[in-house]
Amino acid sequence: MQTSIGVSHAKIILMGEHAVVYHQPAIALPIKAIRLTATLRPQPKDQMIASTFYSGSLRAAAKTRFAGIAQLIRQLLRFFDAEQQGFMLTIASELPAERGMGSSAATAVAIVRAFYQAFGQALPREILLNWASVSEKLIHGNPSGLDAATTSASHPQWFIKNQKPKALRLPPEGVLVIADTGTSGHTGEAVGQVAALLQGDKDYYQPEIAAIGNLVKVGALALAQDDLVTLGHLMTTNQQHLKTLGVSTPALDHLVDVAEDAGALGAKLTGSGLGGCMIALAKDVSTAQKVAAALTGAGAKETWVYDFSTKDDGQ
Ligand code: MEV
């Protein structure tokens, strides 16, 4: 094992969360300016982890909320025939945890990249995504794979579960504002809640899932035609369906309304919901700044701006 560094970044889902779990398409954007690094250093003994989520031995991590990632690390050690190898794994993350920005997937992606680099092996993308699903399944139960695909990607993603993701092009104009409600959203809980609704009343909820999938397809057309007004409407309609699925919260709804009143073309929650972040689409930077200021005034804990034209995807 050599010292190595694996890198990943945040993601936001433009449209299609939750429905993507049921094989509908989704569109997600990598936020490369918000980074996570995993640094792996061999040492004579002890298998240790240092991060903001968990610090301590690999062995003791099994009983913590880091257990899914710990299991991934154990499987990687076994794969590289290095179960007895001592190491220090340091994870430095700019991503807020449990805010719909893909922190668990980004952690897995960076760790897998660090291990493959440490053992001098090439890492094809399908293999990376397979590895990330080890911890994502343990943490979230039934992940679509979208978070891992986007936190490891350099381009916007058109994603359908169990299919190879495709890169999408963004319009030359348009600015997204991302705002954090400051409350945690638990992906596993939100995905489980939607599954329970579908189980309880399939006739009512299945059309909601299909409707989101159709919005995403029209959203891809709007992107291809640089039609931000239509994209904004589609995002707001997507939010209505997410509300019907029960994953929005009063705080998310409030920030969506505030963004629209401040001039956004459309707004919605992003990620699993039940807390976490929302996104708003603005036609230009000055409108985005007004929207961001209004969101901060309405209680958003942090905002980021993603400018389509400059690919200035953060801060
Ligand atoms: C979470 O970021 C996105 C969800 O659609 C779950 C998933 O795709 O695995 C809610």
What domains does the chain contain, in order, with CATH numbers? 4-166 (3.30.230.10), 170-313 (3.30.70.890)
State the number of CA atoms in the 13 A half-sphere of 40 facing the CB: 24
- Record the pTM: 0.94
Beta bridge mates, 6: 38
How does pLDDT run along the chain (315 residues), one tens digit per residue? 999 999 999 999 999 999 999 999 999 999 999 999 999 999 999 999 999 889 999 999 988 989 999 999 999 999 999 999 999 999 999 988 888 899 999 999 999 999 999 999 999 999 999 999 999 999 888 899 999 999 999 999 999 999 999 999 999 999 999 999 999 888 889 999 999 999 999 999 999 999 999 999 999 999 999 999 999 999 999 999 999 999 999 999 999 999 999 999 999 999 999 999 999 999 999 999 999 999 999 999 999 999 998 764 543
Helix H or strand E segment including 276: none
The single residue listed with the structure tokens 């050690």 is 77
For residues 313 and 308, give the distance between their C-alpha atoms in angstroms, rounded to a whole number. Answer: 8
Which helix (DSSP H) or strand (DSSP E) does residue 116 occupy? helix 103-118
253 is catalytic: no
Question: Which atom of ligand 1 is least distant from the CA of 105?
Answer: 2
Q: Are 306 and 313 in contact (CB under 8 A)?
A: yes
Are 9 and 151 in contact by the 8 Å Cβ rule? The answer is: yes
193, two tokens: 């809640």
Residue 176 in 3-state DSSP?
strand
What angle (nearest 5°) sits at the alpha carbon of residue 117, between those of residues 114 and 118?
Answer: 80
Interatomic CA distance for residues 262 and 283, integer angstroms: 12
Rounded-to-integer distance, Cα 198 and Cα 211, Å: 14
Residues with CB under 6 A from ligand 1: 13, 17-18, 20-21, 100, 140, 143-144, 146-147, 187, 190-191, 271-272
ipTM score for this prediction: 0.99
Span from the CA of 271 to the centroid of ligand 1 (angstroms): 6
